[in-house]
Amino acid sequence: MNFYVQQSISINLLKIEGITNSSVLQIGSAGIIKPVSNLFNTGGFTGPAPQAPRPGELLEAPAVPLTSPTA
């Protein structure tokens, strides 16, 4: 059995609070959704990330590294 869907979608505001590696966001119809998960270490990090500060706590350094790890 074949289904043919014709649709028009208008989105004024789409707010996504969080997304993870296994999340799927679908708007409209899809015949097949193929799951894919990619994990990349684009920063060349070799250890775990530092602990996040508590809410309201000041940072001692920039939250985003401004130089490469080898500099």
- Cα gap 3→27, rounded to integer Å: 17
Find out whether 22 and 37 touch, Cβ atoms under 8 Å.
yes
Give percent above pLDDT 70 in the chain.
75
Running DSSP on this structure, what letter comes out for residue 21?
T
Mean pLDDT score, 36-44? 82
pTM summary value: 0.27
Confidence of residue 68 (pLDDT cuts 50, 70, 90): low
Q: What pLDDT is attached to residue 65?
A: 67
Comparing 2-6, 9-13, 45-49, 66-70, the range with the smallest average pLDDT is 66-70
